[in-house]
Structure 1
Amino acid sequence: MSRVRAAACALVTAMVCALPAAQAADGLVDALTKRDRERLAAFDEARAGAIAEAGKGGSAADVAVLDGILAGGSLPLDDAALTGRWRCRTAKLGGNLPLVVYGWFACRIDAKGDTLTLVKTSGSQRTSGRFYDDGAGRRIYLGAGHYSDEKPKTHGADPDRDEVAVLVRPDADRLRLEFPLPRYESRFDILELNRR
C-alpha cells in the first residue's frame, strides 16, 4: 500500500473513530470491516479515476446518461424523503469495460424503527443492506450483493459479497449510491434511484 493510500486510510479510520457518541451508537464504527475502511479511504481517487475512464472510453450515449446521473446538488438526507419505492439502475465505471449502464429495476427503502434499509427487488444482481449515519451528514450503506436465485446475504457474512457506498440526494426525487472499488467487474459503481 502506498504511503498516500495508507495515510488516507488512517485519516478515514480516525474520522470514523472520532464520531460523537450519539452517532457511534448508530453502529457504523462496529459494522465497518477493514476492507470497507480501505474502500472509503480511496473513495475520491477511485471516483475521479473511474469517471475519467468512463468519459474517455464509454459510448457517447452511455456517457450522456452518466452525465445525467452525476448531475445535481446534495440535498439533506431526511428519512421521510428516502423511504418508499424507487426505480433503480446501475452504472459500472472503469475496470473490465470503461462504462456500462444497465436498465431500470425496482428498489425499496424502508424505515424500521431508527433503521433505514435498502433492497433491490428485481434484476439478476441484487443488493440488500442498511444505512448508517456517519456523523458528518452522510449516510453510509453497508450491504451485500446476491443473485436473484439466492437468498439475500448480510454484510460481513462473505467478504467477497460485502458492499459499502455513500448515499447522495442530488434532487428531490433522485438518489445515488456510490460504491468505491467494488469486488467485481468495475472500479466504481453507481446505483441511481428515481422516485416511482
Structure 2
Amino acid sequence: MLIFWRFFMHRILLPIFTFALITVPANAQSLVQEKLDMERAGFEKDTVMQDITYRDAARLDAYARMRTEAFRQARAGGASVDVALLDEIDQRPERSFEDFDLTGKWQCRTIKTGGLAPLVVYDWFRCQVNDDGAGWVLEKLTGSQRTRGRFFTDGDSRLIYLGSYFVKDDRPLRYGSGRNSDQVAYVFRGKDDGWRMEFPAPERESVLDILEFRRAP
C-alpha cells in the first residue's frame, strides 16, 4: 500500500497539482495570447514569441503563482539553513542587465523548491556563457543533469531563457523538441556579479527550480 501511495503521489497528484497552478484565467493578459496574436498578424522579426512553445508560454504565464506556492512549501518543510538562503535570494533587488556581460565561466547550483521534496540545495557545478553572434548561449558543463539554451531580452531587468534539458553523455536536443527536454525560465540579476534563472513547472520533481550563478574564480 505504501509503494502504491508513493507512485500515486508522484505520477498522478503532482501533475494534477501542477496543471492547476499553470492554468491561466481566460481574461488574463498572457504570453499565450500574445504569441497567438503575433502568429495571426505574421512575425516581422525574430523574437522570443516566435520561438517559444505554447506550453512554455503558459508556464511563464503561471510563474508568479507557481513561485508563491513553491516558496510556501519550501519554507514550511525545508531545513533552516536552506530556508535562510531562499529568503536571501528572495530579497535581492532586480538589477538592470544593461552593460552587464554574461559571457565567461561561471559556477552554478540548482535549488529545487516545492514538489516531491520541499527544498533541496545542490552543490556548485561549472557553467559557461558564450556569445555566438546572435546572442548569449548557456551550457551547464558538469553534473548529471544539464541544460543548454539561449537568452532573450524581456525588459531592462529580466531575460527569458529557452533551453533544452539533457543528461551527462547525451547531446542536447534542439529547443522545441518536446516537453521532456524543453525548458523555460525567467532570468534575474540580483547581485553586482551574480544572477539566477527561475524555471516554473519543470518537468521533473519540483514546482520551481532556481539555477544560481556566481563568477568562477
Same fold (TM over 0.5): yes
In the alignment, structure 1 segments of 5+ residues that lack a partner are: none
* Structure with the higher fraction of residues in strand conformation: 1
- Tell me what 2:75 maps to: 55
Given the alignment of the two structures, is residue 157 of structure 1 paired with residue 151 of structure 2, yes or no? no
Tell me how many residue pairs correspond in the alignment. Answer: 193
CA contact (8 A) 2:94 2:157 kept: no
| Per-residue deviation, 1:148 | 0.6
Counterpart of 1:78 in 2: which secondary structure? coil
Relative contact order (alpha carbons < 8 A, sep ≥ 6): 1 or 2 greater? 1
Larger Rg: 2
Matches within 5 A, 1:22-41: 25-41=45-61
What is the alpha-carbon distance in structure 1 between the residues aligned to residue 100 and residue 44 of structure 2?
A: 22
Code of the residue aligned with 1:109 in structure 2: it is: V
Counterpart of 2:161 in 1: which secondary structure? strand
CA contact (8 A) 1:26 1:133 kept: no
- Tell me what 1:108 maps to: 128
Given the alignment of the two structures, is residue 143 of structure 1 paired with residue 163 of structure 2, yes or no? yes
Report the identity percentage. 40
CA contact (8 A) 1:128 1:154 kept: no
Counterpart of 1:184 in 2: which secondary structure? coil
In the alignment, structure 2 segments of 5+ residues that lack a partner are: 1-18
| Per-residue deviation, 1:137 | 5.1
Q: What is the RMSD of the two structures over their aligned residues, measured on CA atoms? A: 2.5
Counterpart of 2:24 in 1: which secondary structure? helix
What is the alpha-carbon distance in structure 2 between the residues aligned to residue 9 and residue 142 of structure 1?
A: 23
What is the alpha-carbon distance in structure 2 between the residues aligned to residue 87 and residue 41 of structure 1?
A: 29
CA contact (8 A) 1:94 1:187 kept: yes
Code of the residue aligned with 2:113 in structure 1: it is: L
Matches within 5 A, 1:53-132: 53-78=73-98, 80-132=100-152
What is the alpha-carbon distance in structure 2 between the residues aligned to residue 195 and residue 117 of structure 1?
A: 16
1:136-180 per-residue CA deviation (whole Å, 9 max, x = no partner) reads 653100001100121122211132111000010001111010000
What is the alpha-carbon distance in structure 1 between the residues aligned to residue 164 and residue 179 of structure 2?
A: 9
What is the alpha-carbon distance in structure 2 between the residues aligned to residue 8 and residue 145 of structure 1?
A: 32
Of the structure 1 ranges 154-163 and 183-192, higher mean CA displacement relative to structure 2 is found in: 154-163
TM-score, with structure 1 as normaliser: 0.88
| Per-residue deviation, 1:52 | 1.0
Counterpart of 1:156 in 2: which secondary structure? coil
Code of the residue aligned with 1:181 in structure 2: it is: A
| Per-residue deviation, 1:80 | 4.4
- Tell me what 1:6 maps to: 25
